[in-house]
Structure 1
Amino acid sequence: MSLRAKLFTGTATAVSLLLLAGTASAAEPGAPGVGDPYYPNSGNGGYDVSHYDIRLSYQPTTDVLSGTTTILAKTTQDLSRFNLDFLLDVSSIRINNKVVSYSRDGGELVVDPKGTLRKGTDLTIVVAYSDKPSTKLVNGVSAWKKTPDGALAIDEPDIAPWWYPSNNHPTDKATFDVSVAVPNGVEVLSNGSFLGNTRQINGWTRWNWRSTKPQNTYSTFITIGQFEVRQSTSPSGQPVVNAYADNLGEYGDAAKASVERTPEVIEFESTQFGPYPFEAQGGIVSPGITFALENQTRPNYSNLFFRRGSNTYVVAHELAHQWFGDSVSVHRWRDIWLNEGFASYAEWLWSEHVGEGTAQENSDFTYDSYPADDPFWQVLPGDPGVDKQFDGAVYDRGALTLHALRKAVGDDAFFSILKKWTAKKAYSDGSIEEFIALAQQVSGKDLKQLFQTWLFTKGKPATAPGAVAGVAAKQAPVEPKSYQKIKDTHALLGAGH
């Protein structure tokens, strides 16, 4: 959010033949990025990851993180070398059990197998490392958040390079096993299902988590510290793990009154967006961050969202990201409207569901709240640029865009579009252009001008979503009961990016 950083197990002879087959001139280095215009060095070319096994130890008093990450991948071209996105100090790298050489190029870890890795080769890459993540700076800042009793590896678009080597772009998803040992009395939270903790003989406890659905790198997290951990089962039968930092103070009850409703919110959003795409549920509240992030299966929330009492709107926002952002991720970071506009619209849907203002009322009041000369209307949600990627316009004008679509095609077609999108693109990625094409296909309408107006044209559109062109409103819209809570929520969400 705040930073812009960016099996094979055969015989030794067979491994050597795979590594050295062909001539060096026939192979090429993997690209240092996937070609994302916003972040040219984000991700890497030449291979596709299927699984990460992250096994670490962390000492909160010294901020030393050490251990190994094992990456299962397959080459997608003949490779002479390839990159991993990683910042910490490395002690060794092995490919299919063979020690290989490596070098650094900024935030890129360049791996040289000293031979050709043929296209289609299964790779087991083991990286051993030890370092203090908070000392690794990009543009003068570390995304690793050290706290008095632990640390939080939470950020967007980049957090992975501070704690595990990866192909760090949403277009290369994988399953994850995350295992972290910490001193007794310290908790470790992560994504997916909790596999239990093991008390070790040396005064440490190892915490184990597993994500069985494809997961992108920035939504993979660890939160370390002292927490009250609550485990339950949702009405749908899924495991629910919520955690609340011991030092939430007066915000603790309001946080619990909000996050404990996670299964209820998921149940509602499933009626709007389609079946919940993951295997577990939950949420974490901590003062270690000032924003919220849609970490897959288990969003992390700042305690500040609950400073004025319970707030289910931020919960509705981050849980909507489970469909829009986590299951269906951005193809390129300029497609961020597909994440934030949709999660913001989910707040309006939740408002209507709980009787605190309809989506139409929230749309009308939001549209009316920004004068035509407000800089808000100069940001293009469809391509906001790196500096404005998480601007308020991406959230609010993004939600207005969806309401304009809803009014243009009708409720049946609108919700059919959302459900078809989340089903067609599940566990993958998508672009704005692909969404527009689907919307036109499902509705049978030409919607190019609608999206051009709301996503790609500067200035305030002449009429609010659902208004009749040329007919002036008789009076100013009435503020919905939910509006101020949603506005406060967006102010923190934007500030955290």
Structure 2
Amino acid sequence: MGELSVKWVVCAGLVATLAVGGCTAGRDSTTDRPSAPASQRAPHFTPGAAGAGDPYFPTYGNGGYDVAGYDLALRFDPATGKLAGTATITATATQDLSRFNLDLAHLAASEVRVDGRPATSRAEGNELVVTPAAGIVQGRPFTVVVRYGGVPEPLNNEALGKGGWFRTDDGAFALGQPESASTWFPVNDHPSDKATFRLAMTVPDGLEVLSNGVPGRRASTAGWTTWAWAENTPMASYLATVVIGQYRITTTTHAGKPMILAVPESMPAGSPAAKSIARTGEITDFLASQFGPYPFDANGGVVVADDRLDYALETQTRPVYGDTFFSGSEDTGVVAHELGHQWYGDSLALHRWQDIWLNEGFATYADWLWQEHEGKRTVAQSFDGTYAKFTDWSEPTGKPGPDGIFDPAVYERGAMTLYALRREIGDAAFAGLLKSWAAQHRDGNVTTDEFIAAAQQASGGRDLGPLFQAWLFGTTKPPRP
């Protein structure tokens, strides 16, 4: 998992981590002769970590491997609530692996194979611990096939709420942040390990299935229909979604890419929700003029009418909106927010949850830009209104704490930070930064330190340390820019 994985070297016959010191990578500490290449050394197999090492959520994700792709073939029966099927996971070992963990909550694996050979597995809480028949050497690709099933349930975080698989009267939906994927498939559930995603979901005839990416071939047999979806651009696991139920789907082409919009069949075609997401293409085009080309092969949105869903989420290529946003009137601001995430949060995903302002501050700023484009209020007016009403400056935007990742300090103060930066470096330099930041890190993972360095470069080398200290890390009200 990139910088989160543990890398090992052999020093004087002992295994040590690079972080510990006491030896020099690439040299034999006894003879000072160049050590043999990794491919020629005897492997030292050790278990992958049961967490990605995120300071806020240490148990989320896993170490020891990097996933390339998930390929799911699943069947869901709304009558029983049971989900069953097979997950095929392609990955590469980032250390010599004796065993590794996958995140899997409330579901049971009946069979696990690694590279076609039976593997031993056991459940430990919300983890599936897999021991392959033979160790996997660092740098070697491998394939894991997991047959599993059960009745999925959401995960509950007392501070942040529930996320994951929610059963409905006619189907289900899977959604949540900071974790949700592990409630419906085995996964390395941390955004630092992005992977492609393919889903074939079989449901009773008469139900629709919405998911990420480009729609594939649909096939029906014996009263069941299989819906296929593919997201071929790497995606953070919490951005994976599936929505099952009775939906009215509109499929068009926008800018040469499939545009899939869906609202519940029970919702009138002219409802505020339907009219709001119908502007997805228009809003995408405007944001592309600000941030650069739209980064994915498909676009769209899904509205879910369920009282448990009181938020919207930027699920990659196809945001999901709780219908509470559209009660009585259109709200294109939330559409602009979630579409802004397609650049900042999806294409540019987080290395660690502490830096979530890079997602939410940018998406809130995207909403401000859209409001100005619509002639409602300028970005300056959005800043002024937010600055005037903002009351709790004690929580730093760049370090909100694990219980504060969805607080106003992340969203509103994050957007104000961007406006303060714009005022400091000038409109032209800031506009260039928005595009270059998205382009240089497309399909990757980013940190606050990287953004600060990019801003310094865009400013021509100006010292921006005081600005970011005040707006991201200070605990008192910064002066108006």
Q: Indicate the TM-score class for this superposition, using the shorter chain for normalisation.
A: 0.7 to 0.9
Tell me what 1:53 maps to: 71
Q: Tell me by how many angstroms 1:138 deviates.
A: 6.6
Tell me what 2:193 maps to: 172
Question: Closer, same or farther in 2 for the Cα pair 1:290/1:137, shift >3 Å?
Answer: closer
Tell me what 2:456 maps to: 440
Q: Is residue 333 of structure 2 the alignment partner of residue 313 of structure 1? A: yes
Tell me what 1:471 maps to: none
Tell me what 2:477 maps to: 460
Letter in 2 for 1:299: P
Tell me what 1:154 maps to: 175
Q: Is the 8 A contact 1:23 1:116 kept in 2?
A: no
Letter in 2 for 1:344: T
SS at match of 1:360: helix
Q: Tell me by how many angstroms 1:269 deviates.
A: 0.4
SS at match of 1:40: coil
Give the Cα–Cα distance (whole angstroms) in 1 for the partners of residues 41 and 89 of structure 2: 24
Give the Cα–Cα distance (whole angstroms) in 2 for the partners of residues 247 and 391 of structure 1: 33
Q: Tell me by how many angstroms 1:105 deviates.
A: 2.1
Picking from 37, 43, 53, the partner of 1:35 is: 53
Q: Any idea what the Cα deviations from partners look like across 1:271-290, whole Å, max 9, x if unmatched?
A: 11111100001000011321
Letter in 1 for 2:204: P
More helix by share: 1
Give the Cα–Cα distance (whole angstroms) in 1 for the partners of residues 136 and 350 of structure 2: 29
Q: Is the 8 A contact 2:164 2:181 kept in 1?
A: no
SS at match of 2:46: coil
Q: Any idea what the Cα deviations from partners look like across 1:241-299, whole Å, max 9, x if unmatched?
A: 000012336x9611111101111111000111111100001000011321100000000
Letter in 2 for 1:96: D
Tell me what 1:476 maps to: none
Q: How does 1:177-326 map to 2 (within 5 A)?
A: 177-200=198-221, 202-234=222-254, 236-248=255-267, 253-288=271-306, 289-326=309-346
Give the Cα–Cα distance (whole angstroms) in 1 for the partners of residues 182 and 251 of structure 2: 30
Q: Is the 8 A contact 1:197 1:205 kept in 2?
A: yes
More strand by share: 2
Letter in 2 for 1:456: F
Q: How does 1:316-465 map to 2 (within 5 A)?
A: 316-370=336-390, 374=391, 376-444=392-460, 445-461=462-478, 463-465=479-481
Tell me what 2:23 maps to: none
Q: Is the 8 A contact 1:254 1:310 kept in 2?
A: yes
Q: Tell me by how many angstroms 1:108 deviates.
A: 1.5
Letter in 1 for 2:291: F
Question: Closer, same or farther in 2 for the Cα pair 1:428/1:120, shift >3 Å?
Answer: same
Q: Any idea what the Cα deviations from partners look like across 1:375-415, whole Å, max 9, x if unmatched?
A: x2122110100111100221111111000000001111001
Q: Tell me by how many angstroms 1:104 deviates.
A: 2.1
Pairwise CA RMSD: 1.7
Give the Cα–Cα distance (whole angstroms) in 1 for the partners of residues 261 and 121 of structure 2: 40
Percent identity among equivalent residues? 47
Letter in 1 for 2:110: S
Question: Closer, same or farther in 2 for the Cα pair 1:135/1:456, shift >3 Å?
Answer: closer
Q: Tell me by how many angstroms 1:113 deviates.
A: 1.1
Q: Tell me by how many angstroms 1:147 deviates.
A: 1.0
Q: Is the 8 A contact 1:325 1:339 kept in 2?
A: yes
Q: Any idea what the Cα deviations from partners look like across 1:135-189, whole Å, max 9, x if unmatched?
A: 7767695632111111111101111110011111111111111110000011110
Q: Is the 8 A contact 1:180 1:206 kept in 2?
A: yes
Q: Any idea what the Cα deviations from partners look like across 1:311-362, whole Å, max 9, x if unmatched?
A: 1000000000000000000110000000000000111100111100000011
Give the Cα–Cα distance (whole angstroms) in 2 for the partners of residues 319 and 252 of structure 1: 22
Give the Cα–Cα distance (whole angstroms) in 1 for the partners of residues 301 and 83 of structure 2: 24
Q: Is the 8 A contact 1:406 1:414 kept in 2?
A: yes
Question: Closer, same or farther in 2 for the Cα pair 1:238/1:141, shift >3 Å?
Answer: closer
Tell me what 1:478 maps to: none
SS at match of 2:238: coil
Tell me what 1:77 maps to: 95
Q: Is the 8 A contact 1:248 1:286 kept in 2?
A: no
Give the Cα–Cα distance (whole angstroms) in 1 for the partners of residues 156 and 452 of structure 2: 39
Q: Is the 8 A contact 2:75 2:203 kept in 1?
A: yes
- Structure with the bigger RCO (C-alpha within 8 Å, sep 6+) is 1
Q: Tell me by how many angstroms 1:195 deviates.
A: 0.7
Give the Cα–Cα distance (whole angstroms) in 1 for the partners of residues 270 and 48 of structure 2: 48
SS at match of 1:364: helix
